[in-house]
Amino acid sequence: MVGKHKDSVESVALCEELQIGVSAGIDSEILIYDLKNLAIRHRVRPTLYGGFTKVMFSSFKIKKADGESIIMLYAGSTLGDLFLIDVRSGEIVKAYKGHAAPINYFVEAKQR
């Protein structure tokens, strides 16, 4: 695979539906891989400092107006931020801030 992290990888996640893999590093980067072509699809760098501790694909299905599904990724950081990322575009949709310490673990609430 082309590309790699400059420091340790703290978390990985796979999305079978899109054949995408994600790695989160302490080097402040999230790499989104196209597993079909074994290439990097996007590099996500939402912070200048601090790394990432955990990534997890969302099980919630979000539909765009054209009916296409949006696959979201959660990412916890060493700065105490939680990011919501659209994996198809690599864009940060939302940043949740407020924790004073790293977010090392989180779970997704179940839909009712």
Give the per-residue pLDDT at 48. 65
35-49 pLDDT, tens digit per residue, is 999 899 999 986 666
Q: Which residue has the tokens 């912070």?
A: 47
Give the per-residue pLDDT at 1. 46
**Fold annotation for 9-96:** Thrombin, subunit H (2.40.10)
3-24 pLDDT, tens digit per residue, is 688 889 999 999 988 899 999 9
- Which has the closest alpha carbon to 57: 106, 102, 9, 97? 106
Query: Alpha-carbon distance 31 to 34, whole Å?
Result: 10
Q: Enumerate the domain spans of the chain.
A: 9-96
- Strands (E) in the chain, as ranges, are 9-15, 20-25, 30-34, 39-44, 52-57, 62-63, 69-70, 72-77, 82-86, 91-96
